[in-house]
Amino acid sequence: MSRHNFLFAMSAIALLNGHAHAAQSKSPPNIVFIFSDDHAYQAISAYGDPRKLLETPNIDRIGREGVRFNRCLVTNSICGPSRATILTGKYSHLNGFYNNTNSRFDASQTTFPKLLKAAGYQTAVIGKWHLVSTPAGFDEWHILPGQGVYYNPPMIHNGKRVEHQGYTTDLITDFSIDWLKNRDQSKPFLLMCQHKAPHREWSPALRHLGHDKDRVYTEPATLFDDYSGRGKAEHDQDMTIAKTMTATDIKLTPPPRLTPEQLKVWNAYYQPRNELYKKAQFTGQDAVRWKYQRYMHDYLGCVKAVDESVGRILAYLDEAKLADNTIVVYASDQGFYLGEHGWFDKRWIFEESVRTPLLVRWPGVAQAGAVRNELVSNVDFAETFLQAANVSIPADFQGASLIPLLKGETPADWRKSFYYQYYEYPQPHHVRPHYGVITDRYKLVRFESADVNDWELFDLKNDPAELKNVIATPENAATVAELKTEVARLRKELKVPDQTPPEASGQKVVK
Ligand code: CA
């Protein structure tokens, strides 16, 4: 009899003996992992962005009843690599998934869902997968092919292509709740509910068009950043609202797969506003201002549906009396720029990109309403889930369980520095490969490409917006030396190879 089956049997005996409470505390917790794509912490009201972009009452509820992490950092700030790190508990250089261009997830690797399944959990992944190879370790998988689309999406259900009608965020929620309802109730479960939203091109549900009543959003202070004070890498990128946003991004042309009736509703909102835009013939900063407003309407509209989805899942857990023994996590695969530095997208070691939202509710274990400022990471998720399920953690996993932090403890040996590395270049956004170390106060970054080989230092205490590379300031010499030693130590500890393999950039390798 496996340890878990044994525990279930003991629980049943305890129940018969009237020790229901003691039994419950021993049964392994269920895990509901609600994961979105490109959800900026600035667009979650619990994180308190000064622009007060929108209210997210349901996501906030997870933090209010559980723990909110203020500095959850990702290992490599793009979609696929973040997902691979979450599944494997390893950095890109060990799990082999470096970029969204030519990486393919090696499904034979050890992942936390496989280990949970082997320990008796029922497992499902529903929504965006984005790892190219077929999901392994799941009893049920119902995924979007590739990036997926926002309306009437084709999906792949346990290997079979299916066509659906509706808005993708709502469908992923429907399928998730259906799976919860129809699961094998004798087993604990892992549900990974993974939204496409609010990924580019930021298409809201038709019911949310006009959700903001044409509100004028406050602009970020750095919307017109000229990148002075920083190096060539920051100047020479392709991710600005000014130059990089396409006609589809700003909804001058409709997204794919709308039905004729849906297109009518879509046009009724966008067309009159687009006419005004075309008539105005904005140029320069005025064009950026208009696009920023359109971007906020669309992006935040997508987030509204994600927040509603979270509300529906929390309501189901309450109704089914599952909430008490279920860990609920809300996270995204990385952060995102909402106009800061004139940008959208992610990729950088800089704060809006590298920091992802993380809120965790676990009744009786996670301190309700606590806020943690330690450096935590998506590389920690796998170990957290395994420890919660009392499954042993493979020695080569590279994170740390968050359970002590959830309980309100502060382990003396918690990481004081975090290693980051980004590879994909030059396409799609011309952000140069870089690696670096992040502490509570500093970031030391090394950009590396054929034409750039720069070290930069940012002091978040004096420069929270990361506008000034202060590596050459004489009083920082000791800090720079210390951080260079630290980044070398981390590279060794994490087994980062001296030479990055050429395919890591995602570009065609000429052999
Ligand atoms: Ca993403």
Model pLDDT for residues 417-458, shown as the tens digit of each residue: 999 999 999 999 999 999 999 999 999 999 999 999 999 999
358-415: per-residue pLDDT in tens?
Answer: 999 999 999 999 999 999 999 999 999 999 999 999 999 999 999 999 999 999 999 9
What's the chain's average pLDDT?
A: 95
Q: Rounded to the nearest whole angstrom, what is the distance from the C-alpha of residue 147 to the centroid of ligand 1? A: 10
Instruction: Read off φ and ψ for residue 399, nearest 5 degrees.
Output: -105, -155
- Please say whether the beta carbons of 123 and 138 come within 8 A: yes
Alpha-helical regions (H) of 421-473: none
- Would you state the structure tokens that stand for residue 489, as one six-digit string? 């130590």
- Would you state the structure tokens that stand for residue 177, as one six-digit string? 């709740």
pLDDT at 322: 98
The residue behind tokens 């920091």 is 355
Q: Rounded to the nearest whole angstrom, what is the distance from the C-alpha of residue 100 to the centroid of ligand 1? A: 10
Among 106, 88, 86, residue whose Cα is nearest residue 37: 86
Q: Rounded to the nearest whole angstrom, what is the distance from the C-alpha of residue 352 to the centroid of ligand 1? A: 13
Q: Give the strand order in the sheet containing 452-459.
A: 418-422, 434-438, 442-449, 452-459
pLDDT at 510: 56
Among 408, 367, 365, 413, residue whose Cα is nearest residue 385: 365
Q: Rounded to the nearest whole angstrom, what is the distance from the C-alpha of residue 118 to the centroid of ligand 1? A: 29
Q: Rounded to the nearest whole angstrom, what is the distance from the C-alpha of residue 244 to the centroid of ligand 1? A: 17
Rounded distance, CA 82 to CA 478, Å?
A: 33
Q: Where is average pLDDT lowest: 20-34, 190-204, 408-422?
A: 20-34
Q: What angle do CA 441, 447, 451 make, to 5 degrees?
A: 155
Q: Where is average pLDDT lowest: 13-17, 67-71, 190-194, 342-346?
A: 13-17
Residue 6 has pLDDT above 60, yes or no: no
Rounded distance, CA 249 to CA 343, Å?
A: 13
Measured N-to-C along each axis, helices 168-182 and 284-319 cross at an angle, to the nearest 10 degrees, of 20
Among 260, 270, 132, 254, residue whose Cα is nearest residue 201: 254
Q: Rounded to the nearest whole angstrom, what is the distance from the C-alpha of residue 348 to the centroid of ligand 1? A: 13
Q: Rounded to the nearest whole angstrom, what is the distance from the C-alpha of residue 345 to the centroid of ligand 1? A: 9
Q: Rounded to the nearest whole angstrom, what is the distance from the C-alpha of residue 78 to the centroid of ligand 1? A: 5
Among 145, 196, 233, 147, residue whose Cα is nearest residue 422: 233
Alpha-helical regions (H) of 143-259: 168-182, 232-235
Range 258-269 average pLDDT: 98
Q: Rounded to the nearest whole angstrom, what is the distance from the C-alpha of residue 130 to the centroid of ligand 1? A: 10
pLDDT at 26: 63
Domain coordinates of the chain in residue numbers?
28-204+292-505
Q: Rounded to the nearest whole angstrom, what is the distance from the C-alpha of residue 39 to the centroid of ligand 1? A: 8
73-132: per-residue pLDDT in tens?
Answer: 999 999 999 999 999 999 999 999 999 999 999 999 999 999 999 999 999 999 999 999
Q: Rounded to the nearest whole angstrom, what is the distance from the C-alpha of residue 336 to the centroid of ligand 1? A: 8
Residue 22 has pLDDT above 60, yes or no: no
Asked: is 28-204+292-505 a CATH 3.40.50.300 domain? The reply is no
Among 189, 131, 134, 193, residue whose Cα is nearest residue 161: 134
Burial code (b: 16+ CB inside 10 Å, e: under 16) for 309-335 equals: bbbebbebbeeeebbebbbbbbbbbbb
Q: Rounded to the nearest whole angstrom, what is the distance from the C-alpha of residue 91 to the centroid of ligand 1? A: 16
Going from the C-alpha of 357 to that of each of 37, 354, 416, the distances in angstroms are 11, 10, 19
Q: Rounded to the nearest whole angstrom, what is the distance from the C-alpha of residue 144 to the centroid of ligand 1? A: 14
pTM for this predicted structure = 0.94
Residue 152 has pLDDT above 80, yes or no: yes
pLDDT at 508: 73
Among 256, 240, 273, residue whose Cα is nearest residue 196: 256
